[in-house]
Amino acid sequence: MRRKGQTKTVGTMTKSTGAPQDKTGSRLFVYSLGLVFQRRVRKILNAHGWSLKLGLPFANSDAVAVWGRKGPAKRGMAVASAFKKPLLTVEDAFLRSVLTGRQGAQSLGIVTDWTGIYFDTSQPSDIDSFLEKSLDLNDDDLKNAADEMAYMGHLKLSKYNDYSQQAVEFKDEYVLVVDQTLNDAAIIKGGADAQTFANMLACAKAENPDKKIYIKTHPETAAGKRLGHYTQDDCDGQVDLLTSQLSPYVLFQGASKIYCVTSQVGLEAIFAGRKPIIFGRPFYAGLGLTDDRGPTPKSTLKLKPEQLFWATHLQYSKWYDPFFERATDFQTTATILHAQSRQHNDNKKPAYCIGMRLWKRGFLKQFLSGSVSAPRFFDDPQKAVMAAKKDNGRVLVWSGKETQVLHKACTQNHVPLIRVEDGFLRSVGLGAKLVAPVSLAFDDTGIYYDPTRPSQLERLINASVSLSEIELTRAKAVQDRIVALKMTKYNLTHSSVTLNAQKGQQVILVPGQVENDASIFKGAAQVKTNLDLLQAARADFPDAYIVFKPHPDVEAGLRKGVVSTEQANLYADFIASDCNMADLLDQVDRIATITSLAGFEGLMRGKQVTCYGNPFYSCWGLTDDRGDKLDRRIARPNLTALIHACLIKYPRYWDPVTHKPCPIEVVVERFEKGEMQSKRGGSMRLLAKLQGVFASYAYLWR
């Protein structure tokens, strides 16, 4: 219900702001080099229906675009006024990038405003219209906004996202004071100045004499790009500058009070359920969500945090997908930014690599990009550990090459040890044929295929029972697309087969494995070979129609695990050689396996799975387990939660087209478009062919 005295909304316009409906399709004339040369901004505007032009706006539908309210914007404003054309103000959106623009990072979104701009609260802006409209949201819209707001907080996303991975412990509750950069337009247009910051710190000290005060510096100040209002001179026994870059959402947890002038951190504090103390006049003041100490706010609306989030992030902001160069929504932007932030922040420590064959080093350099230095590769584990210790780095080892000597050396020298392995959606083609992966797992605890010790994946699955509705919906969408597209780990283009089981007969797929694979060494119980597996399946399911599918690496002559046709025919009704795995999975009722990924792929397709070993997906209540019991696996997730842990949270993904870190959805769409695997160079193709000749020497490239 509209409150008394509020302005009536007319279509997409409000009388209070005069904001016209978006003129998508207009030509936008620009008069500043920033807009001319900012390729990403042009792409975002193009994706949302605008075209940037140089010259003069003579046509009736033409408009003028300016960036913000600094000096160069005045030229565009003057032209718009002279030609009586609409003026569109463009600024970065509330989620921007990992690093700052001054560090060369490109934005994932913009805000566009036909009336003013959100940070200039001395004048009306389009944000006023969206804030007013939020009063009329129905329950579904409010719930969606609340869920998306919580999702952003769960991912700890802010405007900039260059955060330290080092754990910082605050012993006691503290007060947070938020700095901004000198001469920021948001300060001036928000009714504040440098003296406001001095007053804010003095007030924080006077109101909290017995508490520690931490000053959060602006990311551009921390990066050495712009000065802030506070320096070391403002510190004393009570006040300290925060030298570590921490997500605002981490800082909110231990803060008893949060003091801001006009910073976006105040907005994020509201989204985190806090009530910041405000000394300026930001657009989010005066909504009943802040303790206002500054100039009189222009708004008198009373909103909930989710209404404010709806206005800022779901309506006012325009989001962009850089992988497919198209407009997108907030949730897609959040997943993209989280993937970028994860890679950047995970790679802050220098990487010293062991057990990485030459052909793997190229794609590893991509996955490890963004670190302070390029990864270095060693043959001597001791040298790698000592180099990592000297540079406060970490040692990465291809999981199958880890030794007790390496583990002990890392432990004794307090050097993190990270195991690396292929992800569960790997490539179009075999790793044994030197096809680079589009996903890798980086595990600092163990590795997913080794049930003899904990792993990061186990931790994620144990925690997956508390996933949000958005996370579960996302995982279900990923599952549905993978199944519909018939995706598997290697996505080989073999022909389909037709099975001739009798009507009503249970059909069981027995996927062969590489018998000297680490997952067999670590995860097998009494059943250890492909022949053992066939015998066990026939003994346990005597009346079933059993299909044996040899492992593709074994069929290619690259790995160990051959079962002769004569032996296989003693237990199997059909040998599915060189056939499509996804097609087989669609035709069977059950998968009987030791530790094969085919069991997980079967679960995704609603199949029953019998495990004779301990793969990563067993002992969670979703499989028929014939192997050893694992007491560490205490959770009982549903299938969707298991998929979220295994396909979304655990691996990291790399886009083969843009050569950037990406979420899984990008890889799935690349596969759908036939773009999943980048082409290999001539030398790699030649080396792959030579492997077929020297298959018995596979240890040279594994």
For residues 370 and 339, the answer to whether their CB atoms sit within 8 Å is: no
Q: Provide the sign of the torsion angle of the four alpha carbons 649, 654, 658, 661, taken in this order.
A: positive
- Residue spans of alpha helices (H) in 181-274: 185-188, 194-207, 219-222, 248-254, 264-271
> Tokens 């990487």 map to which residue?
351
Amino acid at residue number 319: W
Interatomic CA distance for residues 601 and 683, integer angstroms: 33
Arithmetic mean of pLDDT, 479-502: 87
Arithmetic mean of pLDDT, 551-556: 76
Confidence of residue 563 (pLDDT cuts 50, 70, 90): confident
The verdict on residue 390 lying in a domain is no
Lowest mean pLDDT among 222-226, 369-373, 563-567: 369-373
The verdict on residue 509 lying in a domain is yes
Structural domain containing residue 232: 155-301
Lowest mean pLDDT among 223-227, 305-309, 607-611: 223-227
User: Residue 435 pLDDT > 90, yes or no?
Assistant: no
Confidence of residue 23 (pLDDT cuts 50, 70, 90): low
E strand or H helix that includes residue 13:
strand 13-14
For residues 290 and 266, the answer to whether their CB atoms sit within 8 Å is: yes
User: Residue 264 pLDDT > 80, yes or no?
Assistant: yes
CA 364 to each of CA 246, 439, 584: distance values in angstroms, whole numbers, following the listed order:
27, 11, 33
Interatomic CA distance for residues 65 and 699, integer angstroms: 61
- Neighbouring C-beta atoms of residue 326, cutoff 10 Å: 14
pLDDT of residue 495: 75
pLDDT of residue 556: 67
The verdict on residue 443 lying in a domain is no
The verdict on residue 641 lying in a domain is yes
How many residues make up the chain in this entry? 702
User: Residue 38 pLDDT > 70, yes or no?
Assistant: yes
Query: Token digits for 275?
Result: 């009530």
For residues 88 and 61, the answer to whether their CB atoms sit within 8 Å is: no
Confidence of residue 491 (pLDDT cuts 50, 70, 90): confident
The verdict on residue 483 lying in a domain is yes
Confidence of residue 9 (pLDDT cuts 50, 70, 90): very low
Give the sheet arrangement for strand 212-216, strand by strand.
Answer: 239-241, 212-216, 174-178, 255-260, 277-278, 291-292
Indicate the DSSP class of residue 181. B
| CATH code, 666 | 3.40.50
Arithmetic mean of pLDDT, 336-359: 93
In the chain, % of residues over pLDDT 70: 91
Model pLDDT for residues 390-422, shown as the tens digit of each residue: 999 999 999 989 999 999 999 999 999 999 999
Quick one: how far is CA 465 from the chain centroid? 20
Interatomic CA distance for residues 291 and 258, integer angstroms: 10
- pTM here? 0.91
pLDDT of residue 640: 98
User: Residue 578 pLDDT > 90, yes or no?
Assistant: no
Last residue of a domain, one of 301, 328, 355: 301
**The total number of structural domains that make up the chain:** 2
Last residue of a domain, one of 267, 282, 301: 301
Model pLDDT for residues 668-696, shown as the tens digit of each residue: 999 999 997 645 444 444 444 444 444 44
pLDDT of residue 113: 97
pLDDT of residue 180: 97
pLDDT of residue 166: 67
pLDDT of residue 692: 44
E strand or H helix that includes residue 439:
strand 439-443
Number of helical (H) and strand (E) elements in the chain, helices listed first: 26, 28
Which residue did the predictor score with more confidence, 365 or 433? 365
The verdict on residue 660 lying in a domain is yes
Confidence of residue 266 (pLDDT cuts 50, 70, 90): very high
Last residue of a domain, one of 301, 327, 361: 301
pLDDT of residue 562: 84
pLDDT of residue 498: 87
Model pLDDT for residues 620-678, shown as the tens digit of each residue: 999 999 999 999 999 999 999 999 999 999 999 999 999 999 999 999 999 999 997 64
User: Residue 699 pLDDT > 50, yes or no?
Assistant: no
User: Residue 285 pLDDT > 60, yes or no?
Assistant: yes
pLDDT of residue 326: 97
Mean pLDDT, the chain, whole residue set: 90
Per DSSP, the residues of 478-522 read: HHHHHHHTT--SS---PBP----PPTT--EEEEE---TTSHHHHH
Model pLDDT for residues 442-455, shown as the tens digit of each residue: 999 999 999 999 99
pLDDT of residue 288: 97
Beta bridge partners of 90: 67, 112
pLDDT of residue 16: 32
The verdict on residue 7 lying in a domain is no
pLDDT of residue 26: 76
Interatomic CA distance for residues 582 and 486, integer angstroms: 5
Give the sheet arrangement for strand 87-92, strand by strand.
Answer: 51-53, 27-29, 63-67, 87-92, 109-113, 317-321, 326-328
Arithmetic mean of pLDDT, 28-49: 92
Confidence of residue 496 (pLDDT cuts 50, 70, 90): confident
pLDDT of residue 511: 95
The verdict on residue 272 lying in a domain is yes
pLDDT of residue 630: 95
